[in-house]
Amino acid sequence: MSSSALVLFSGGQDSTVCLAWALSRFTCVETVGFDYGQRHAAELAARPVVLEKLRTGFPQWAEKLGADHLLPLDTLKAIGGSALTDAVAIEMGANGLPTTFVPGRNVMFLTAAAALGYRRGISDLVGGMCETDFSGYPDCRDETVQATARALSLGLARDVTVHTPLMWIDKAATWKLAEELGGSELVDLIVAETVTCYEGDTSPHDWGHGCGKCPSCVLRASGYKKYRAA
């Protein structure tokens, strides 16, 4: 396996677990986040906090955690039409997808990450896409992710591998994976510092911060309850 990886890191629960997963497997791990004009920048604000606490609180990973990058992808905001980029109600759309769907987002994220990886000499990407507990986004499905990896490999004339450690597990198992990778300290860090709420709400709960009502909060809270009950 390559000694370096680039993690798509938003500052949320899933990407933090993926970062821990990468740090446990690769010698050098860099991170990349995307400012795509999202309405609530709470996750972006959480990114440097989580990274700093990983450096200071987990000595086994500190030397492995390399540069962080933040790339602008405000084309997604210009396209608009999503509850994550515009003042749109969070509900099921007429097309059968929730209004929180940002069309092309993960394909653009992977493309930008692969291009950055090309310049950084990194061909292993790690993302938190999942089709077990998710909101029905078609660009979170394994078929989409691997087709994108194949296209990027052809377009960059080098092998691009996209690792998705959460693809086939539910939110309870994601919490359990965090414990397996970094102990209760990592679980506590995820609860205290990561943000996944679609509304950008930072109200405290035993499972973390959020409004407690949006689909992302419901998944996170129910997964945490199941994890604690196991």
Confidence at residue 2, expressed as pLDDT on a 0 to 100 scale: 63
Mean of per-residue pLDDT scores for the chain: 94
Q: Identify whether 217 is part of a domain.
A: no
- Asked whether the predicted pLDDT for residue 124 surpasses 70, the reply is yes
Lowest mean pLDDT, pick from 90-94, 114-118, 133-137, 195-199: 133-137
Q: Identify whether 166 is part of a domain.
A: yes
Residue 108 sits in a domain whose CATH number is 3.40.50.620
- Count how many residues are written for the chain: 230
pLDDT in tens, 59-113: 999 999 999 999 999 999 999 999 999 988 889 888 888 898 899 999 999 999 9
Instruction: Please state the domain count of the chain.
Output: 1
Domain carrying residue 120: 4-170
- Asked whether the predicted pLDDT for residue 167 surpasses 80, the reply is yes
Indicate the pTM of the whole model: 0.95
